[in-house]
Amino acid sequence: MGIGESVSLALARAGANVVCFARTAKDIDETARKVSALGVKALAICGDVTVGRDLDHLVAATVQEFGRIDFLINNAGGTVFNGFLDTSDEEFSFLFDWNTKSAFMLSKRVAPYMVQQGSGVIINVSSAVGHITGRGLMAYGVAKAGLDYLTRSLADELAPRVRVNAIALGSIMTPSLKRMLIEEDASFGATMIEKTPLRSIGDADKVGETVAFLCSPAADYITGDILRYDGGLQDNSLPFRLADYEPGTVFDRDKDET
């Protein structure tokens, strides 16, 4: 189960109606069906989190259907594994837009409704890479570190009516991690577990439950926090490390790209 689905189902089990948003219907229709099966309402809307008019439509459709917005979970994001000198200007901008700017854009559109109604919660899904380094993850780490700062800043500016927190994830057993990184190479998963202090990979279902807790009255005195959900990582858990840059190779990369 992916993070978005786990969060949607956890909130639905807590009694919340859920709006699912993704670029293609196949990514959200099944989640919306599972949400509806729990006895609450579900709305599936297609769009791109980096496109303003799509976000305008998302917010308008949500307000029209439900009359209010109580929770916003900014879960969009991902990475491209690439070394610093091999990361293009365009790739860096894309990862920042996807992971950080999208959360800014949607939060800015949703926050006025929350302030007006006198309450609301925004949760940003961040990463351990926002505060620990990992070769090949520079652009992603910068984006997630920016998302963490955005979280703290919004918590300050939107208080006291709106709470804003982030959950910084370590390695979570999502379908993509299982398929791409573990099933293709069993030693990858084993090493990842060994490098995590709690000696396990995180459970996506429990990520959803943690987000639901942050949205609940039990967390009503928590805001501006970056909650670590990473098994105790003090260093990244990747089983490999990119090689050092050597003097004779740094300009060859530029020649290969032209």
State the catalytic residues: 140
Give the integer Cα–Cα distance in Å for 231 and 198: 5
Reported in sequence order, the residue ranges of the chain that DSSP labels E, i.e. its strands, are 18-22, 42-46, 71-74, 120-127, 162-169, 226-229
| Residue entry with tokens 């429990």 | 206
CA 57, 61, 65: angle at the middle one, nearest 5? 175
Give the integer Cα–Cα distance in Å for 70 and 216: 11
Question: By CB neighbour count within 10 A (0-12 exposed, 13-18 middle, 19+ buried), where does 118 fall?
Answer: exposed
| Residue entry with tokens 């854009």 | 105
CA 213 to chain centre: 17
Composition of the chain by helix, strand, coil, percent to 5: 50, 15, 35
Give the integer Cα–Cα distance in Å for 97 and 118: 29
Residue 220: partners with Cβ closer than 8 Å, 6 or more residues away: 163
Peptide bond into 197 cis (omega under 30): no
Give the integer Cα–Cα distance in Å for 96 and 102: 9
